[in-house]
Amino acid sequence: MKIFKPILLMSLLAILLVSGAATAGDINSNAGTSAFPFLKINIGARAVSMGGAFTGLADDESALYYNPAGIASLEEKRFILGYHDYFVDMQSGFVGFVKTLSYTKAIGGSISYLNYGDFTETDKFGATIGTFSGGSLVASLTFAIKQGYYRSFGGTGKFIYEKIQDYSATGAAVDLGAKYTGDRNRFSVGLMIQNLGAQLSSLGEDKDKLPLTFRTGLAYNPRGLPLTLTSDLIVPVDNDPIIALGGEYFELKPFYIRMGWNSFGSNFRTTDSDDSWAGLSVGVGFDFRKKQISYSFSPGADLGDSHRITLTGGF
Protein backbone atom coordinates (compact mmCIF):
# COMPACT_ATOMS: atom_id res chain seq x y z
CA MET A 1 0.00 0.00 0.00
CA LYS A 2 2.92 2.36 0.64
CA ILE A 3 3.97 1.94 -2.99
CA PHE A 4 0.43 2.25 -4.31
CA LYS A 5 -0.51 5.58 -2.69
CA PRO A 6 2.12 7.79 -4.36
CA ILE A 7 1.46 6.13 -7.73
CA LEU A 8 -2.26 6.72 -7.32
CA LEU A 9 -1.78 10.37 -6.36
CA MET A 10 0.59 11.02 -9.27
CA SER A 11 -1.79 9.37 -11.74
CA LEU A 12 -4.77 11.36 -10.50
CA LEU A 13 -2.75 14.56 -10.68
CA ALA A 14 -1.71 13.77 -14.24
CA ILE A 15 -5.34 13.15 -15.22
CA LEU A 16 -6.37 16.52 -13.78
CA LEU A 17 -3.54 18.33 -15.54
CA VAL A 18 -4.34 16.91 -18.99
CA SER A 19 -8.12 16.83 -18.76
CA GLY A 20 -8.38 20.35 -20.13
CA ALA A 21 -6.22 19.50 -23.10
CA ALA A 22 -8.07 16.27 -23.75
CA THR A 23 -11.44 18.00 -24.00
CA ALA A 24 -10.47 21.35 -25.47
CA GLY A 25 -11.66 20.37 -28.94
CA ASP A 26 -8.73 21.92 -30.84
CA ILE A 27 -7.03 19.77 -33.46
CA ASN A 28 -3.60 18.66 -32.31
CA SER A 29 -0.84 19.80 -34.68
CA ASN A 30 0.65 16.28 -34.67
CA ALA A 31 -2.62 14.53 -35.60
CA GLY A 32 -2.28 12.38 -38.69
CA THR A 33 1.52 12.51 -38.76
CA SER A 34 2.22 8.91 -37.72
CA ALA A 35 2.35 5.77 -39.82
CA PHE A 36 0.11 2.76 -39.15
CA PRO A 37 -2.61 4.57 -37.13
CA PHE A 38 -4.57 1.29 -36.97
CA LEU A 39 -2.16 0.21 -34.22
CA LYS A 40 -4.14 2.44 -31.84
CA ILE A 41 -7.45 0.63 -32.37
CA ASN A 42 -8.37 -1.14 -29.11
CA ILE A 43 -9.10 -4.88 -29.17
CA GLY A 44 -11.31 -7.16 -27.09
CA ALA A 45 -15.01 -6.64 -26.36
CA ARG A 46 -14.51 -6.74 -22.59
CA ALA A 47 -11.82 -4.06 -22.51
CA VAL A 48 -13.55 -1.86 -25.09
CA SER A 49 -16.87 -1.97 -23.21
CA MET A 50 -14.90 -0.64 -20.21
CA GLY A 51 -13.78 2.37 -22.24
CA GLY A 52 -10.44 0.80 -23.15
CA ALA A 53 -9.28 1.39 -19.56
CA PHE A 54 -7.42 -1.89 -19.21
CA THR A 55 -3.71 -1.12 -18.70
CA GLY A 56 -3.89 -1.52 -14.93
CA LEU A 57 -6.28 -4.49 -14.94
CA ALA A 58 -4.80 -6.60 -17.79
CA ASP A 59 -6.09 -9.83 -16.27
CA ASP A 60 -7.25 -11.73 -19.35
CA GLU A 61 -5.93 -12.66 -22.79
CA SER A 62 -6.38 -9.14 -24.20
CA ALA A 63 -3.40 -8.17 -22.03
CA LEU A 64 -1.45 -9.17 -25.16
CA TYR A 65 -2.47 -5.74 -26.47
CA TYR A 66 -3.04 -3.57 -23.36
CA ASN A 67 -0.15 -4.66 -21.13
CA PRO A 68 2.01 -7.72 -21.91
CA ALA A 69 2.99 -8.00 -18.23
CA GLY A 70 -0.55 -9.21 -17.52
CA ILE A 71 -0.15 -12.58 -19.26
CA ALA A 72 2.33 -13.67 -16.55
CA SER A 73 -0.64 -14.23 -14.22
CA LEU A 74 -2.67 -16.37 -16.60
CA GLU A 75 -2.75 -20.13 -16.14
CA GLU A 76 -2.24 -23.01 -18.56
CA LYS A 77 -3.00 -22.46 -22.26
CA ARG A 78 -5.32 -19.61 -23.17
CA PHE A 79 -6.73 -18.17 -26.39
CA ILE A 80 -8.59 -15.10 -27.66
CA LEU A 81 -10.65 -14.75 -30.85
CA GLY A 82 -12.13 -11.37 -31.65
CA TYR A 83 -14.14 -9.79 -34.47
CA HIS A 84 -14.81 -6.09 -34.87
CA ASP A 85 -17.46 -4.57 -37.15
CA TYR A 86 -15.93 -1.12 -37.46
CA PHE A 87 -17.00 2.16 -39.02
CA VAL A 88 -17.79 2.64 -42.74
CA ASP A 89 -17.66 -1.03 -43.77
CA MET A 90 -14.26 -1.72 -42.19
CA GLN A 91 -13.73 -4.94 -40.23
CA SER A 92 -10.93 -6.15 -38.02
CA GLY A 93 -10.02 -9.28 -36.11
CA PHE A 94 -7.63 -10.45 -33.40
CA VAL A 95 -6.35 -13.97 -32.72
CA GLY A 96 -4.00 -14.73 -29.86
CA PHE A 97 -2.71 -17.43 -27.52
CA VAL A 98 -0.91 -17.56 -24.17
CA LYS A 99 1.08 -20.48 -22.73
CA THR A 100 2.63 -20.65 -19.28
CA LEU A 101 6.20 -21.91 -19.24
CA SER A 102 6.42 -22.05 -15.45
CA TYR A 103 4.89 -20.39 -12.40
CA THR A 104 6.76 -17.19 -13.23
CA LYS A 105 7.02 -17.15 -17.04
CA ALA A 106 4.62 -17.07 -19.97
CA ILE A 107 4.76 -16.58 -23.71
CA GLY A 108 2.12 -15.47 -26.16
CA GLY A 109 1.51 -14.63 -29.76
CA SER A 110 -1.14 -12.80 -31.73
CA ILE A 111 -2.17 -11.72 -35.20
CA SER A 112 -4.50 -8.81 -35.84
CA TYR A 113 -5.84 -7.44 -39.11
CA LEU A 114 -7.88 -4.53 -40.39
CA ASN A 115 -9.74 -4.66 -43.72
CA TYR A 116 -10.34 -1.20 -45.16
CA GLY A 117 -13.12 -2.32 -47.49
CA ASP A 118 -13.49 -1.41 -51.17
CA PHE A 119 -12.75 1.95 -52.75
CA THR A 120 -13.80 3.31 -56.15
CA GLU A 121 -10.88 3.84 -58.53
CA THR A 122 -11.11 6.68 -61.05
CA ASP A 123 -8.87 8.04 -63.79
CA LYS A 124 -7.58 11.60 -63.95
CA PHE A 125 -10.85 12.69 -65.59
CA GLY A 126 -12.98 11.31 -62.75
CA ALA A 127 -14.32 8.34 -64.69
CA THR A 128 -14.74 5.12 -62.70
CA ILE A 129 -12.35 2.41 -63.89
CA GLY A 130 -12.79 -0.14 -61.12
CA THR A 131 -12.30 -0.72 -57.42
CA PHE A 132 -9.39 -1.42 -55.11
CA SER A 133 -8.98 -2.38 -51.47
CA GLY A 134 -6.49 -2.25 -48.64
CA GLY A 135 -5.67 -3.73 -45.28
CA SER A 136 -3.21 -4.05 -42.43
CA LEU A 137 -1.68 -6.94 -40.52
CA VAL A 138 0.31 -7.15 -37.27
CA ALA A 139 2.09 -10.31 -36.09
CA SER A 140 3.34 -10.26 -32.48
CA LEU A 141 5.29 -12.39 -30.00
CA THR A 142 5.11 -11.71 -26.25
CA PHE A 143 7.12 -12.78 -23.22
CA ALA A 144 6.29 -11.99 -19.57
CA ILE A 145 7.80 -12.80 -16.19
CA LYS A 146 6.63 -12.47 -12.57
CA GLN A 147 8.88 -11.28 -9.77
CA GLY A 148 7.25 -12.53 -6.62
CA TYR A 149 3.49 -12.22 -6.26
CA TYR A 150 3.13 -8.49 -6.75
CA ARG A 151 5.24 -7.49 -9.77
CA SER A 152 5.31 -8.62 -13.39
CA PHE A 153 6.98 -7.36 -16.55
CA GLY A 154 6.42 -8.09 -20.21
CA GLY A 155 7.50 -7.23 -23.72
CA THR A 156 6.09 -7.72 -27.21
CA GLY A 157 7.84 -7.65 -30.57
CA LYS A 158 5.69 -6.73 -33.58
CA PHE A 159 6.02 -6.88 -37.34
CA ILE A 160 3.64 -4.54 -39.16
CA TYR A 161 2.41 -4.73 -42.76
CA GLU A 162 0.05 -2.42 -44.62
CA LYS A 163 -1.14 -2.48 -48.22
CA ILE A 164 -3.34 -0.18 -50.29
CA GLN A 165 -3.87 -1.14 -53.92
CA ASP A 166 -0.36 -1.83 -55.31
CA TYR A 167 1.49 0.01 -52.54
CA SER A 168 2.74 -1.49 -49.29
CA ALA A 169 4.60 -0.48 -46.12
CA THR A 170 6.28 -2.37 -43.29
CA GLY A 171 7.43 -1.59 -39.78
CA ALA A 172 8.78 -3.12 -36.57
CA ALA A 173 7.99 -2.14 -32.98
CA VAL A 174 8.07 -3.30 -29.38
CA ASP A 175 5.64 -2.86 -26.48
CA LEU A 176 6.95 -2.78 -22.91
CA GLY A 177 4.72 -3.18 -19.87
CA ALA A 178 4.82 -3.51 -16.08
CA LYS A 179 2.13 -4.36 -13.55
CA TYR A 180 1.91 -4.19 -9.76
CA THR A 181 -0.85 -6.13 -8.00
CA GLY A 182 -1.83 -5.22 -4.45
CA ASP A 183 -2.56 -7.52 -1.54
CA ARG A 184 -5.64 -9.74 -2.03
CA ASN A 185 -6.03 -8.44 -5.60
CA ARG A 186 -7.93 -5.39 -4.35
CA PHE A 187 -6.07 -3.11 -6.77
CA SER A 188 -3.49 -3.16 -9.55
CA VAL A 189 -1.42 -0.56 -11.36
CA GLY A 190 -0.04 -0.81 -14.89
CA LEU A 191 2.46 1.08 -17.03
CA MET A 192 2.90 0.60 -20.76
CA ILE A 193 4.90 1.90 -23.73
CA GLN A 194 3.32 0.97 -27.06
CA ASN A 195 4.68 1.05 -30.60
CA LEU A 196 8.29 1.91 -29.86
CA GLY A 197 9.91 1.32 -33.25
CA ALA A 198 10.28 2.53 -36.82
CA GLN A 199 8.82 2.26 -40.27
CA LEU A 200 10.96 -0.03 -42.45
CA SER A 201 9.34 0.84 -45.77
CA SER A 202 6.59 3.30 -46.65
CA LEU A 203 3.70 3.71 -49.07
CA GLY A 204 5.42 6.76 -50.51
CA GLU A 205 8.90 8.19 -50.56
CA ASP A 206 9.10 9.44 -46.98
CA LYS A 207 9.04 7.32 -43.84
CA ASP A 208 6.93 8.46 -40.90
CA LYS A 209 7.22 7.88 -37.17
CA LEU A 210 5.15 5.19 -35.49
CA PRO A 211 2.22 6.11 -33.17
CA LEU A 212 4.25 5.87 -29.96
CA THR A 213 1.90 5.82 -26.97
CA PHE A 214 2.39 5.91 -23.20
CA ARG A 215 -0.28 4.39 -20.95
CA THR A 216 -0.81 4.19 -17.21
CA GLY A 217 -3.80 2.60 -15.56
CA LEU A 218 -5.44 1.72 -12.27
CA ALA A 219 -7.90 -1.04 -11.34
CA TYR A 220 -9.72 -1.20 -8.02
CA ASN A 221 -12.25 -3.55 -6.39
CA PRO A 222 -14.19 -1.63 -3.71
CA ARG A 223 -14.51 -3.61 -0.50
CA GLY A 224 -17.84 -5.41 -0.25
CA LEU A 225 -18.97 -4.51 -3.77
CA PRO A 226 -19.15 -6.92 -6.76
CA LEU A 227 -17.54 -4.29 -8.96
CA THR A 228 -14.22 -3.59 -10.66
CA LEU A 229 -13.41 0.03 -11.51
CA THR A 230 -10.70 0.99 -13.98
CA SER A 231 -9.10 4.17 -15.30
CA ASP A 232 -6.39 4.86 -17.87
CA LEU A 233 -4.39 7.88 -18.91
CA ILE A 234 -3.24 7.41 -22.51
CA VAL A 235 -0.71 9.82 -24.01
CA PRO A 236 -0.02 9.37 -27.76
CA VAL A 237 2.78 11.41 -29.32
CA ASP A 238 0.55 12.29 -32.28
CA ASN A 239 -2.56 13.53 -30.48
CA ASP A 240 -3.94 14.93 -27.24
CA PRO A 241 -3.95 12.85 -24.03
CA ILE A 242 -6.91 10.52 -23.61
CA ILE A 243 -8.79 9.63 -20.44
CA ALA A 244 -10.58 6.28 -20.21
CA LEU A 245 -12.88 5.09 -17.41
CA GLY A 246 -14.64 1.77 -17.00
CA GLY A 247 -16.47 -0.61 -14.73
CA GLU A 248 -17.48 -4.27 -14.59
CA TYR A 249 -20.36 -5.54 -12.44
CA PHE A 250 -20.07 -9.27 -11.62
CA GLU A 251 -22.76 -9.88 -8.97
CA LEU A 252 -24.74 -11.88 -11.58
CA LYS A 253 -21.94 -14.34 -12.45
CA PRO A 254 -21.68 -16.06 -14.88
CA PHE A 255 -23.23 -12.92 -16.44
CA TYR A 256 -21.28 -9.62 -16.49
CA ILE A 257 -22.38 -6.05 -17.20
CA ARG A 258 -19.83 -3.48 -18.33
CA MET A 259 -19.74 0.22 -19.13
CA GLY A 260 -17.06 2.75 -19.97
CA TRP A 261 -16.15 6.14 -21.38
CA ASN A 262 -13.22 7.29 -23.51
CA SER A 263 -12.50 10.97 -24.14
CA PHE A 264 -11.30 10.19 -27.68
CA GLY A 265 -14.96 9.78 -28.64
CA SER A 266 -15.29 13.55 -29.02
CA ASN A 267 -13.24 13.22 -32.23
CA PHE A 268 -16.05 11.24 -33.86
CA ARG A 269 -18.35 14.26 -33.93
CA THR A 270 -18.48 16.83 -36.69
CA THR A 271 -18.56 20.52 -35.83
CA ASP A 272 -22.35 20.76 -35.67
CA SER A 273 -22.95 17.32 -34.17
CA ASP A 274 -24.96 17.10 -30.94
CA ASP A 275 -24.41 13.37 -30.41
CA SER A 276 -23.53 13.20 -26.72
CA TRP A 277 -23.12 9.40 -26.71
CA ALA A 278 -19.83 9.28 -28.62
CA GLY A 279 -17.12 8.03 -26.29
CA LEU A 280 -19.47 5.88 -24.20
CA SER A 281 -19.45 2.09 -24.48
CA VAL A 282 -21.47 -0.75 -23.02
CA GLY A 283 -21.13 -4.50 -23.07
CA VAL A 284 -21.94 -7.85 -21.54
CA GLY A 285 -20.13 -11.12 -20.95
CA PHE A 286 -21.12 -14.69 -20.21
CA ASP A 287 -19.06 -17.62 -18.84
CA PHE A 288 -19.61 -21.16 -20.07
CA ARG A 289 -17.39 -24.25 -19.83
CA LYS A 290 -14.27 -22.30 -18.81
CA LYS A 291 -14.76 -19.87 -21.69
CA GLN A 292 -16.26 -16.42 -21.93
CA ILE A 293 -18.07 -14.72 -24.77
CA SER A 294 -18.23 -10.93 -24.65
CA TYR A 295 -19.97 -8.24 -26.69
CA SER A 296 -19.45 -4.48 -26.79
CA PHE A 297 -21.25 -1.59 -28.45
CA SER A 298 -19.66 1.79 -29.03
CA PRO A 299 -21.62 4.60 -30.74
CA GLY A 300 -19.41 6.67 -33.03
CA ALA A 301 -21.61 9.71 -33.67
CA ASP A 302 -21.38 10.75 -37.32
CA LEU A 303 -19.11 7.83 -38.24
CA GLY A 304 -21.61 5.15 -37.22
CA ASP A 305 -21.65 2.45 -34.58
CA SER A 306 -18.98 -0.09 -33.65
CA HIS A 307 -19.64 -3.67 -32.54
CA ARG A 308 -17.19 -6.22 -31.14
CA ILE A 309 -17.58 -9.87 -30.15
CA THR A 310 -14.79 -11.83 -28.44
CA LEU A 311 -14.35 -15.43 -27.30
CA THR A 312 -11.70 -16.20 -24.67
CA GLY A 313 -10.81 -19.19 -22.56
CA GLY A 314 -8.62 -22.25 -22.16
CA PHE A 315 -7.70 -24.90 -24.69
- pLDDT for the residue 242: 94
- pLDDT for the residue 276: 60
Please, are residues 159 and 170 in contact by the beta-carbon 8 Å criterion? Answer: yes
Residue 283's pLDDT band, with cuts at 50, 70 and 90, is very high
d(CA 147, CA 179): 10
- pLDDT for the residue 13: 44
CA angle 48, 95, 236 (to 5 degrees): 45
Query: Is 81 within the bounds of a domain?
Result: yes
Query: Is 308 within the bounds of a domain?
Result: yes
Give the predicted TM-score (pTM) of the model. 0.86
- pLDDT for the residue 3: 42
7 or 298, higher pLDDT? 298
How much is the average pLDDT of 262-278? 64
- pLDDT for the residue 231: 96
For residue 180, the domain's CATH number is 2.40.160.60
Query: Is 103 within the bounds of a domain?
Result: yes
7 or 288, higher pLDDT? 288
Domain range spanning residue 105? 4-23+41-115+130-314
Query: Is 29 within the bounds of a domain?
Result: no
How much is the average pLDDT of 79-103? 91
Residue 33's pLDDT band, with cuts at 50, 70 and 90, is confident
- pLDDT for the residue 275: 58
Query: Is 34 within the bounds of a domain?
Result: no
CA angle 263, 266, 268 (to 5 degrees): 125
Of the candidate ranges 18-32, 82-96, 125-139, the one whose mean pLDDT is the lowest: 18-32
pLDDT for 218 beyond 80: yes
Where would I find the beta strands (DSSP E) of 9-87?
77-85
pLDDT for 169 beyond 50: yes
How much is the average pLDDT of 178-195? 92
88 or 78, higher pLDDT? 78
Query: Is 121 within the bounds of a domain?
Result: no
* Tens digit of each residue's pLDDT (9 = 90 or more) over 105-157: 999 999 999 998 887 888 888 888 888 788 999 999 999 999 988 999 999 99
Buried residues in 292-308 as b, exposed as e (16+ CB within 10 A): bbbbbbbbbbebeebeb
> Residue 185, by phi and psi: left (phi above 0), alpha (psi -120 to 50) or beta?
left
Query: Is 252 within the bounds of a domain?
Result: yes
Query: Is 35 within the bounds of a domain?
Result: no
Instruction: Tell me how many domains the chain contains.
Output: 1
